[in-house]
Amino acid sequence: MSHIQPADLPPANMAQANLAIERRDPSRPLLMRLDWSRLLYGFLLVLCTAWIVGYFFPPINHDTAVLLYISKVWLEGGKLYVDAIDMNTPLTFVLHLLPEALAKVTGLPGTTLLVVCLAIGIAASYLTCRWVLAASLDPAHATADALLPLLLLFLLIVFPNQTFGQREHILLVLCIPYLLVASGRAQGESLSQRLRITTALLAGLGFCIKPYFIAIPALVEIYILARRGWRAELRDPVPWSMLSVGVAHALFAIFVTPEYFTIALPIAREFYSVVSDTDWLNLITGPHLGPPTVILPLLGIPAWFAIRSDLARVIWLAGLGALFSAYAQGKGWPYQAMPAQALTLLLAAVIIAHVMDHQVWPRRTIVGGQPRQQGPRLFAAALMLLVFYQEGLHTRPFFKQLEYANSEVPRLLHIIRQEAYNNRVLVLSPGIYPHFPIMNYAGARMTMRFESMWVLQGAYADCSEFAPLYNPPEAMSRGESFVFRSVAEDFYKKKPALLIVDKVAGIPRCQGEAFDYLDYFLRNPLFAKRFEDYDQLMEFDRYVIYKRRQPVPQVQAAS
């Protein structure tokens, strides 16, 4: 049997044979024989996957804590938008019912099970993306095959950081497989109906979380319509599947939670738009929306006119939709900008991978009819290390978890657990942190229908000349009057063990005087009557804490 020597092989195959012989040479040091590209790449995969463990440590994101709390109130028989008022859509609370329902069955905390549910969702989303990429990418696209899955895992787990579990994070988990499938649809690939419908239904859930998110599928589907024509689009189950989710959500809101339209939305329209509202100039130049606003349009130039990739174009359009969503909300908060930031990173990776595969090593990638992975894998790992490095410069990972033991959360949690004898608390504060997630950890119940005093922040956002510090009841708007009345009624009826008043009202001074929540509500006779049962317990940080005197049990005299 003849043996082929390296000298008899073509140059490309000869290089591969020489490399294999060198690696098998026992005289070479072990460190030289290792495939370092595979080891480094595997390390990053493990790092991204293991990163999720950090989210099991407290504190959970405060907005997420509120959604879990309200879902639990709903699950335990409370009426959504009546017993717990929030302006999020009904679907948002339906999604958060799952971890709370599992908590009721298992006895584990809902905050822990939310991370478990998200971990399962991320795993499913990532594996679906891997499958779609493997089916869509040409074997020569070794860089894209190495880089994109690793970056997707980073974006779904590492990148969210303190916004992990936010609605925008859930959106990314649910919609990224849809975007990859959309690029395949634009190219006319024969993807299975089951894959199309499943990814469309899940994406539909994500897009219905907030009405602003509808801009993302609208732009993507318009592009696919332009690429394929009306007939192909009408026969495609994807847009109809997403539309069915939207219609089902609307019908659910109308017939199951009509108070969303009669209570939540009117209050939101009257007050929410003026709370922390930011003008367009500050949004554009801000640290969260500014970078994607500048970089995403620039990346659109190579996406549309250089590499002309359907995948790049779809991600670019989705990024624009995410930018529109963030600007439409008018706040510029970090979690609102996260989808646009993540899609900007993903688009840059798609462009870089395309250039590497088509310009830098298109011939050297294929050796002997098989893709050669070492170079692309090492390149992908090095690029991801750069991404990790930049993310580390931008924000400290798990900084709230690392500082939790010395923060106000465990100390205030201890006070509530020790002093709230009936497990009911009233917190008058403009923010929702730190009493959320404290209410989740303590298993306590707020005795008012709002999670914070954001409605009053909206009612007193501006102080006009000669305006009173507090509006008299007869001059209050309908929304403010509802807050003034309902907080007092619930305080009188539910008798919380603790009343916690924030000394920082978050409301501008008016006529040189500071707004005080306790003074404001003491003008209500019901509130004032019940407050007679309370003594000041302590001052803690920025809070004054009052405790209700426990009624002395009457001992029945023996006959």
3-state secondary structure of 428: strand
Q: Residues 61-116: pLDDT tens digits?
A: 999 999 999 999 999 999 999 999 999 999 999 999 999 999 999 999 999 999 99
- CB contact set of 351 (below 8 Å; sequence gap of 6+): 299, 302, 303, 306, 307, 309, 312
DSSP character at residue 159: T
How far lies 472's CA from each of 468, 469, 480, 508, 521, in Å?
8, 9, 11, 18, 11
pLDDT of residue 147 exceeding 90: yes
What's the rounded Cα separation, in Å, for the pair 130 and 136?
10
Residue 539 scores a pLDDT above 50: yes
Question: Which amino acid does the sequence have at 501?
Answer: V
Whole-prediction pTM: 0.91
Counting every residue written for the chain, the total comes to 559
Q: Identify the pLDDT of residue 282.
A: 87
Closest CA to 252 of 215, 208, 213: 208
> What is the number of domains present in the chain?
2
The answer to whether residue 182 sits within a structural domain is yes
- Mean pLDDT, the chain, whole residue set: 90
With beta carbons less than 8 A apart as the criterion, state whether 331 and 277 touch: yes
- Which tokens belong to 300? 């659109």
Whether residue 299 lies inside any domain: the answer is: no
Per-residue pLDDT of 375-427, as tens digits, reads 889 999 999 999 999 998 888 899 999 999 999 999 999 999 999 999 999 99
> Has residue 332 got a pLDDT over 80?
yes
Residue 271 predicted with pLDDT over 90? no
**What's the CA gap between 220 and 204, in Å, rounded?**
13
Residue 289 pairs with which residues in a beta bridge?
A: none
The residue with tokens 């250089």 is 306
**H or E segment at 425?**
strand 424-428
Highest mean pLDDT among 1-15, 372-386, 477-491: 477-491
Better-scored residue on pLDDT, 378 or 29: 378
Q: Of 249, 266, 283, which closes a domain?
A: 266
Residue 12: inside a domain, yes or no? no
pLDDT at 22 over 60: no
pLDDT band at 25 (very low <50, low <70, confident <90, very high): low
- The average pLDDT across 532-543 equals 96
Q: Which residues contact 277 (CB under 8 A, 6 or more apart)?
A: 330, 331
Burial class (CB in 10 A: 0-12, 13-18, 19+), 148: buried
Structure tokens at 545: 């804490």
Residue 430 lies in a domain: yes
Query: β-strand 424-428 against 498-502: which pairing, if any?
Result: parallel
Neighbour count for residue 146 (Cβ, 10 Å): 26
Cα 546 from Cα 538, distance rounded (Å): 7
Of 227, 246, 266, which marks where a domain is finished? 266
Q: Which pLDDT score, from 0 to 100, does residue 279 have?
A: 80
State both tokens at 289.
């929306």
> Does 358 fall in a domain?
no
> Final residue of a domain: which of 231, 266, 301?
266
- Identify the three-state secondary structure at position 367: strand
1 in a structural domain: no
Cα–Cα distance, 421 to 441 (Å, whole number): 15
Confirm whether 526 is domain-assigned: yes
Say yes or no to pLDDT of 555 above 80.
Answer: no
H or E element: which one contains 301? helix 290-305
Is 346 among the domain residues? no
3-state secondary structure of 501: strand
Name the packing angle between helices 167-187 and 215-228 (round to 10°).
0
| Residue 551 confidence (pLDDT) | 73
Residues of the chain with pLDDT > 90: what percent?
75
Residue 525 structural domain: 404-548
